[in-house]
């Protein structure tokens, strides 16, 4: 159950706090993408990473990018849950 109101969530999305979160998350995403582009390149000692190291590293980076994408959607998820709850309440009132 969402305790916030729709207007509180919308106000939060317009706040500087949320905008700061978004900016930081975009930076994290860009860093992860840069790191993703370098996977498989020679290590600092000149050796090449083995396949399992590479796959684990790629999975880690993809996970970080997915986490950023998810976090950026949290306000929309909350708004959708509020809408779903409102719809459920309407159905229950007519039953």
Q: What's the pLDDT tens digit per position in 49-85?
A: 888 988 999 999 999 999 999 999 999 999 999 999 9
Q: Quick one: tokens of 93?
A: 């009132």
What pLDDT is stored for residue 27 in this prediction?
97
What pLDDT was estimated at residue 58?
A: 93
CA distances from 6 to 27, 41, 60, 81 (A): 28, 47, 34, 10
What size, in residues, is the chain?
A: 95
Q: Residues 39, 57: contact at Cβ < 8 Å?
A: yes
DSSP, collapsed to helix, strand or coil, labels residue 34 as: helix
For the segment 26-45, the average pLDDT, to the nearest whole number, is 88
């Amino acid at each position: 159950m969402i305790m916030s109101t729709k207007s509180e969530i919308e106000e939060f999305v317009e706040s500087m706090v949320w905008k700061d979160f978004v900016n930081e998350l975009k930076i994290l995403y860009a860093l992860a993408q840069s790191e993703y582009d370098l996977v498989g390149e020679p290590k600092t000692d000149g050796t090449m990473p083995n396949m399992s190291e590479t796959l684990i590293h790629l999975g880690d980076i993809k996970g970080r990018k997915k986490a950023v994408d998810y976090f950026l959607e949290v306000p929309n998820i909350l708004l959708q849950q509020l809408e779903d709850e409102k719809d459920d309440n309407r159905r229950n009132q007519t039953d």
